[in-house]
Chain A
Amino acid sequence: MPNPLIDDRTLDFVLHDVVGLDSLLALPRFAEHDRAVCDATIDSVRRYSREVLFPAYRLLDAEPPVLREGRALVHPRLQEIWPGLRDLGLISAGRSTEIGGQQLPFLVTLAAILHVQAANCPLYSFLGLTTGAAHLIEAFGSPALKERYLAPLLEGTWTGTMALTEPQAGSSLADIETRATPSGDHYLVSGSKIFISGGDHDLTENIVHMVLARIEGAPAGVKGISLFLVPKMRPDGGRLAPNDVKVAGLIHKIGWRGLPAAALNFGEEGDCHGWLVGEPHRGLAAMFQMMNEARLVIGGSGVATASVAYQESLAYARSRPQGRPLANRDASSPQVPITEHADVRRMLLRQKAIVEGGLALLLQCARLSDLAGHGEGEAKARSQLLLDLLTPVAKSFPAEKGFEANVLAMQVHGGYGYSSEHLPEAWLRDQKLNSIHEGTTGIQGLDLLGRKVMVEKGAALRILGEEVAATCARAAKAGVDPAWIAAVGETGKKVGALTGELARRGQERGGEAMLLHSADYLDLFSSWVVAWQWLEMAAAAREALADGRTPGAFYEGKLAAAQHWIRTEMPKVDALITVCHEGEESYRTVPDEGF
């Protein structure tokens, strides 16, 4: 059986029994949709991903885009695929019907997108970056910019990018140097950007870059950054004219090789036109709308890349006879599939716990995004706070633990996994990027501890505590093992206490002391949050079994994975809490020469 990419039944279970898609469909924004439409949407993208995108994955990985005469050329197979990929309608799926979208919940769109990412992870970026660029123009652009740029972007006849990073300014956007000088109804933009995904290609006639730059005389730091729309080709009297955006080179990446990543020079000849989007000096705040959406999508890539590898290793393990049970000394007896060996079972169940735990967390965040955007009253504000808190976790957990899962998928394949004849090595390369782009894991740790848990005197963390308590109550009622419930509940109290302690440390000794172990804090916080999701899934599985739903093994599998995650991870959280509490200082105090 071909790789399913994402397990159908698990996705259905998470959407309906865990996250509760039906409650979202009751919102006025989504009144036109019902479950049948949501199912049909996911199913169409699923089929396309399995039948068209997945078979092309290895080819596009083996033969990345090339630079010819200043233009990035994608693989001919991608040229064939693009019209079908574009016409699925994912770019505009979540946008309002007034501007040509389908007004689907982000929860449904993301569930569909996961299949594209699992089948051929780099290709979704062409769509996702375009969605993000169009959303920025819709939210902050002038009427003239909307009139000119929205339709071709939403239809996918043009694509979009986000152009933030510069050679000397990656994570530190405060240090960008690209300049914008007023010139009539536009600005003249000059500067260099690097690692621009989809920054150049030959799939569409135009590419719309959303560029961060400084207006001449702007204040230093992030308060002097503005957002500009800079097209590769600028509309000029009914035709498209070159806009002085040059490709300086393509990055030779180890993964995501179907997607060109370019170094771009803007205004080499002093003729690069850009148009201000939103208020001057407010560009970073605007861009963060795109970044926050992008971070959840990158979380999706982490889940999807771990999922496709998990499914591959599971199928391999079931079909690979090797060795005999330890108690069987009869060398003439048939070999057993490696799924019968305890260590292989460990590797498979751990992958499952990471993949499905990450999936549940990600889809919870998508639901919160829908409620924050289109909910009403207190639920709207509450959802926004909780989403902000969980976004760094939803971005980094699938990347970091997903990488571990990808390693396990390779390990299950043994020597074959280390060869390029099998796919796990490619997914391992792809997964690594997810802990680097759209804010490294280090940045996510700083964001979580330095900003998100501290906001409004810990309001978001209190809301999360209430959500966890509600899950514990549901689990207790469903008959989930009380030891699991206690472990999640008690860990939550310890995380809360540690957070308070670190906040006090920050007040007394400054941010450096508070954030010294932000990476460990992100790690332990993420493990606990995912344990919360596994408790929710355990409750849903118990309820399903009590209702006599079948197949029983499916729900037993959920309980086993919940047990694995909660019973093996919560003790590790305790150890990390101790490290944070003690403020272990080795890497702070080691002299530079001592490395």
Chain B
Amino acid sequence: MNHIVCLAYVPDTETKIKIGADGKSIDESDVKWIVSPYDEYALEEAIKTKETKGGTVTVVTFGPAKADVGLRECLARGANEAVRIAADGLAQVDSLGVAKLLAAAIKPMPFDVLWLGNKGVGTDAQTLVPMLAEFLDLPHVNLVTKLEWKDGAVTCWREIEGAKEVVETPLPALIAAQKGLNEPRYASLKGIMAAKKKTIAVKTPADLGVDVAAVSGDKAAVRWTKLELPPARQAVKLIPADDPAKAAEELLRLLRDEAKVL
């Protein structure tokens, strides 16, 4: 079985995000970049499956040259090949544009399973999975936490509100991983050395036949006009509990008049 894993190289979830001088992008000067955590679950499952059933794992990303660090980390963990669609110098590309670029890169590649995290933790707005499936004309199963392989098909357990849904899909298919699917491994020193010797294939949008100008900047379907940080958390307000009845009254008043949730 051959696997393709799409991954996003995103700011570390521990990074304190600052807004850039233009007011509509983030200040990247002090940002540490990582492979999106949900994509790590997808990669781990692909590698685990390769180890038991044979085949190869190819990782694909759309990003600037610094994303090669993330791709090498995936190679160190056990991926066989890596492809980067070069984003250097491009205006903002939205998820629709990214889906088109990824689809163009993946279409000529043979695979049984296409893997993604159910979301990036960047700017994808959790829309990439269905759009990519649509462009590649693939069945897709999202929020997967457990899998059972069959001949030419796979049964997936997926999270829905308050329950698990079990679905079966024929292969090839797109499977999007949710937290809980596995515990991703860490790159070993041996793996890191082996990854250094591998080549990352870099393709430009033009190589893929995608007119990037039509899906980026002012032509993108989603354009960023302004970024704002969430409001700072207010200090905790303690209600004296000497008299429970009065305390309850005060709580109701605060919820109604200040928090305005009642």
Residues of A within 8 A of B187 (CB): 40, 44
Q: B14, B69, B188 — which one has the most chain A CB atoms within 10 A of its CB? A: B188
B153-195 near A? 1/0 per residue, CB < 8 Å: 0000000000000000000000000000000011111101101
How many residue pairs link A and B with beta carbons under 8 A? The number is: 52
Judging by beta carbons under 8 Å apart, are A34 and B192 in contact?
no
Q: Determine the distance from Cα of A214 to Cα of B189 in the docked complex, in whole angstroms.
A: 39
Residue A591 at the chain B interface, CB threshold 8 Å: no
B183-214 near A? 1/0 per residue, CB < 8 Å: 00111111011011000000000000000000
Interface size class of B (residues with CB under 8 A): 10 to 19
Residues of B within 8 A of A34 (CB): 196
Residue B29 at the chain A interface, CB threshold 8 Å: yes
15 more contacts with CB within 8 A, not counting A37-B193, A48-B186, A88-B189, are: A32-B193, A36-B196, A40-B69, A40-B76, A40-B195, A41-B189, A41-B192, A44-B73, A44-B187, A44-B192, A52-B186, A88-B186, A89-B188, A89-B189, A102-B189
Q: Determine the distance from Cα of A52 to Cα of B183 in the docked complex, in whole angstroms.
A: 11
Judging by beta carbons under 8 Å apart, are A84 and B76 in contact?
no
Residue B72 at the chain A interface, CB threshold 8 Å: yes
Judging by beta carbons under 8 Å apart, are A551 and B30 in contact?
yes
Beyond A36-B69, A37-B196, A40-B69, is A84–B190 a contact (Cβ under 8 Å)? Answer: no
Q: Determine the distance from Cα of A89 to Cα of B185 in the docked complex, in whole angstroms.
A: 13
Residue A550 at the chain B interface, CB threshold 8 Å: yes
Residues of A within 8 A of B186 (CB): 44, 47-48, 52, 84, 88
Q: Considering the complex of A and B, which 4 residue pairs feature the smallest CB-CB distances, nearest first?
A: A89-B189, A44-B187, A48-B186, A89-B188
Q: Which residue of chain A has the shortest Cβ distance to B190 in the bound complex?
A: A89
Judging by beta carbons under 8 Å apart, are B192 and A37 in contact?
yes
Q: Determine the distance from Cα of A237 to Cα of B173 in the docked complex, in whole angstroms.
A: 51
Q: Which residue of chain B has the shortest Cβ distance to A46 in the bound complex?
A: B186
Judging by beta carbons under 8 Å apart, are B29 and A87 in contact?
no
Residues of A within 8 A of B185 (CB): 84
Q: Which residue of chain A has the shortest Cβ distance to B34 in the bound complex?
A: A47
Judging by beta carbons under 8 Å apart, are A102 and B14 in contact?
no
Residues of A within 8 A of B192 (CB): 37, 40-41, 44
Residue A546 at the chain B interface, CB threshold 8 Å: no
A87-106 near B? 1/0 per residue, CB < 8 Å: 11110110000000010100
Q: Which residue of chain A has the shortest Cβ distance to B68 in the bound complex?
A: A36
Residue A2 at the chain B interface, CB threshold 8 Å: yes
Q: Which residue of chain B has the shortest Cβ distance to A49 in the bound complex?
A: B186
Residues of A within 8 A of B14 (CB): 1-2
B215 smallest CB distance to A (angstroms): 31
Residues of B within 8 A of A43 (CB): 73
Which of A1-47 touch B at CB < 8 Å?
1-2, 8, 32, 34, 36-37, 39-41, 43-44, 47
Q: Determine the distance from Cα of A34 to Cα of B187 in the docked complex, in whole angstroms.
A: 17
Residues of B within 8 A of A36 (CB): 69, 72, 196
User: Can you report 30 A-B residue pairs in the complex whose CB atoms are below 8 A from each other?
Assistant: A8-B32, A32-B193, A32-B196, A36-B196, A37-B192, A37-B193, A37-B196, A40-B69, A40-B72, A40-B76, A40-B187, A41-B192, A44-B73, A44-B186, A44-B188, A44-B189, A47-B186, A48-B186, A52-B186, A84-B185, A87-B188, A88-B188, A89-B188, A89-B189, A89-B190, A93-B189, A102-B190, A102-B193, A550-B29, A551-B30
B70-97 near A? 1/0 per residue, CB < 8 Å: 0011001000000000000000000000
Which of A83-126 touch B at CB < 8 Å?
84, 87-90, 92-93, 102, 104
